[in-house]
Amino acid sequence: MVDRHPNLRAQRRAETQRAIQAHAVRLFTERGYDATTVADVAEAAGVAPMTVYRHFPTKEDLVLVDQNGPLLAERLRAAPADQPLVRRIGGALVDATAVLTGGGDPGAAAADGRFLLDRLRLMIATPALRARHLDNQYALQEAVIGALGDDAADPETAFRARAAAGACLAVLHTALVRWAEDDGRADLPALVADALAAAFGDAAAPLDRSARRQGPRRFTG
Amino acid sequence: MVDRHPNLRAQRRAETQRAIQAHAVRLFTERGYDATTVADVAEAAGVAPMTVYRHFPTKEDLVLVDQNGPLLAERLRAAPADQPLVRRIGGALVDATAVLTGGGDPGAAAADGRFLLDRLRLMIATPALRARHLDNQYALQEAVIGALGDDAADPETAFRARAAAGACLAVLHTALVRWAEDDGRADLPALVADALAAAFGDAAAPLDRSARRQGPRRFTG
DNA sequence: ACCTAAATGGTAGTCGCTATCACGATGGTA
DNA sequence: TACCATCGTGATAGCGACTACCATTTAGGT
């Protein structure tokens, strides 16, 4: 339903949106986020300042990512329900990051990976963006609760699920930061698995799943 | 060194600061955070809008709390270093929340507790405040790393410490939300301990420490 | 009594963001 | 082919958070 009209109009709209975000990330990286105004971004993209707000609700959304909710929910529903909470959620996180970093073809992954890394670095270094990102992850926590499929009516069950989900997502964030510091060279799913093991112990880290099995897989496709 | 001059001048400054924040929290709770302007707060407090910014760097800081860093660091240094990371950090969190909720005399705790609860509710319900609070907690993570006293030079050790600290602080946040939903009637240290147990398993939760021992202690003083 | 410094108020300006109206181009339709 | 609705964009005006700069009053120390 997104491509209801793969017309010339929709193509141009998508292209301007891509251009605006690309110039925004470039300018933010070059001059800094706070030192770059929305008017600067608009001028660089060749549009009016208002057009920026038609495509992105706020200046922060020019950088933020966080469209991984559905992917994570799918992996959560696929996980066996008889394991501990942190193991179910942690395994889904490892799987989801594996899809994200190894999903596309190597060429597209290289270009998109650079773009994603630039945005990730901005999100980590800029206080306003970091705060928004952490809040988005906090919202993702509720999506995790819903995807777990456990009894959400019982407040005690929901409380325990929230605690486990929040802890797992914080661990994910730690792994993301380290991945960005390493310029995306490290294997993100392995980093997530290591961070999960550091927080919850090796018993809860799904090392037997898809964490370690793709060390050199990235360039074999 | 804060009270270098317990003069009339410092007293008036502290009083205006307190009045500004009190009126701000009241107005935010009554009309909503976004619907209340800084000019409204200033007028209610009987000062000029600029005076508000002289006492609080941003509008968000009129609500945010987060001065628990030193307390938590002290408890962390007091924890035995031979236990697992999440146990050391979790125990310090339980102890710190016990001091916070049961620290003062009952009378002051009742008044301050209401004020603290109002701010906590605003922080949870308002997106901008929630984001800033989560970022403050993320900054607290680094303070935890430093207070642990482990070898921060080794990036692998620091990575594991960051993962554990982030997970523990996310669990703390979950407990804080539940405490606020319960209007502060529940025992916060016990909630933190329960949340820690839900995330890390009972082995990592310091139930043998000061969590359970103060169930009805609140109203026996 | 004098002088320094702190606390506050005023003014003007920038920037993020919104509401509103207008215009041109695109897409389906008679 | 001609028509019209809709979409994407642009321009203006305005609000609110926040800052820089300067003026004024007043408490504190000498």
Cβ–Cβ contact B26 with A under 8 A: no
Average pLDDT, stretch A40-62?
97
Model pLDDT, residue A2: 42
Q: Is A185 helix (H, G, I), strand (E, B) or coil?
A: coil
* pLDDT over 80 (residue B110): no
CB-based contact B145:B158 (threshold 8 Å): yes
What is the tens place of the pLDDT at every residue in B9-41? 889 999 999 999 999 999 999 999 999 999 999
Nearest beta carbon to residue A86 from set B132, B135, B199: B199
* pLDDT over 50 (residue B134): yes
Cβ–Cβ contact B200 with A under 8 A: yes
Model pLDDT, residue A217: 30
What is the tens place of the pLDDT at every residue in B159-216? 999 999 999 999 999 999 999 999 999 999 999 999 999 999 876 555 444 444 443 3
The domains of chain A, with CATH numbers, are 5-57 (1.10.10.60), 66-212 (1.10.357.10)
Report the range of poorest mean pLDDT among A166-175, B35-44, B100-109: B100-109
Model pLDDT, residue A3: 44
More confident residue, B120 or A6: B120
* pLDDT over 60 (residue A83): yes
**CA dihedral over B124, B129, B130, B133, signed as positive or negative:** negative
All residues of chain A having their beta carbon less than 8 Å from the beta carbon of residue B161 are: 198
d(CA B57, C1' D20) / Å: 15
* pLDDT over 70 (residue B106): no
- Cα separation, B166 vs B161, in Å, equals 8
Contact A198 B159 (CB under 8 A): yes
Model pLDDT, residue A79: 85
Return the H-helix or E-strand segment holding B69.
helix B69-78
Contact B138 A130 (CB under 8 A): yes
Cβ–Cβ contact B131 with A under 8 A: yes
What is the tens place of the pLDDT at every residue in A106-144? 656 666 778 999 999 999 999 999 999 999 999 999 999
Model pLDDT, residue B34: 97
d(CA B41, C1' D25) / Å: 23
Q: Which two tokens stand for residue A216?
A: 């050199």
CA A27 to chain centre: 21
* pLDDT over 50 (residue A220): no
